[in-house]
Homo-oligomer: A and B are copies of this chain.
C-alpha cells in the first residue's frame, strides 16, 4: 500500500489571504515531512446548524482563489459540492470533488460530480452502515468514473454525538476505493452548542492514530491558525502550530502498517 496522504486545510475559505496563508503553511510542512498533500477548503457551508452561521465566500470568489492557489503553490485541491450545477464549475479548478455526508445518497449529485472526470470523495453519512457505501460508490463508478474515494467521519450514536467504528475502514476498502479517515469531523458534536456544533479537539490525535494503525490511504484533517476564533468547526479543528508534530507521529504508525503483512 502507498504511504499515508493528507487532505488538510481550514474548514472554509475565509478570505483569499487566509486561504493562501493556510495552503502555503501546509505545503511547507508536508514538503518537509515528505507526505502527500491536498489542500481542502469549502466555498459554502450549506448546512450550518443554524441559519445565522457564516457560510463562506461563495462559489464565484472561491473558483478564482482555488485557481490561483493551484497555479501558484502547485498543490492539488479539494472542495465539497452541495448542488449538482456547481460540479462542472468547481471541476474546472479542483482535483477532488467531495460529497458531504448528509448528501451521500443524492444520486444526481454523485453523478454530476462523477461526470466532471475528477476524483470524487464521498463522505459516509452519519446514518449509513459501512456496507451501504458499496451502493454509493457504485453510483459514481456507474457514471463512468472509477476514481472514487470513501471517507469515514463518524456514525450517529444517540443525540449530538458521533462514534468512530473502525471496522468501517477495512469494510469500505473491500469495495476497492481508497479509504480516508476524517479525524476532525469525527470528533464533532453535531448541534452540540445549541446554534452550532461542538467538538472534542483533544481526541483528534487519538482517533487518527487508531485509523492509521488500522490502515488508511489518507487522513482528512481541518486545521486553522486560530481555531478558537474560526467561523465554523472551531471546536474540532486543530491549531496549525500543532499540525506538524501530529503528522510526524502518525507517519510512524503508517510505516508500521504499510510495512506489515496484512492481518486484517
Contacts and interface: CB of A to CB of B under 8 A. Distances in A.
A45 to B, nearest CB: 9
Contacts of A131: 191
Nearest to A126: B127
Given A156-B126, A203-B167, A213-B213, A50 B253 contact: no
A211 B253 CA distance: 12
Given A50-B135, A135-B191, A169 B129 contact: no
Assign chain A's interface to a size class. 35 or more
Contacts of A161: 158-159
A139 interface: yes
Interface string A28-45: 000000000000000000
A167 B188 CA distance: 13
Interface stretch (A68-76, A88-96, A104-112, A223-231): A104-112
A67 interface: no
A165 B156 CA distance: 12
Contacts of A103: 102-103, 106
B263 A246 contact: yes
B51 A142 contact: yes
A75 B181 CA distance: 40
Contacts of A142: 51
Interface in A154-175: 155-161, 163-167, 169-170
A260 interface: yes
Contacts of A261: 249
A239 interface: no
A206 interface: yes
A202 B264 contact: yes
Given A158-B158, A195-B135, A213 B209 contact: yes
Contacts of A200: 167
Interface in A105-147: 105-108, 110-111, 125-132, 135, 138-139, 142
A24 interface: no
Interface of A: 46-51, 55, 82-84, 102-103, 105-108, 110-111, 125-132, 135, 138-139, 142, 155-161, 163-167, 169-170, 190-191, 195, 200, 202-203, 205-207, 209-214, 245-246, 249, 252-253, 256-257, 260-261, 263-264
11 contacts: A47-B105, A51-B110, A83-B84, A129-B160, A132-B190, A158-B161, A166-B206, A202-B264, A209-B263, A210-B213, A213-B213
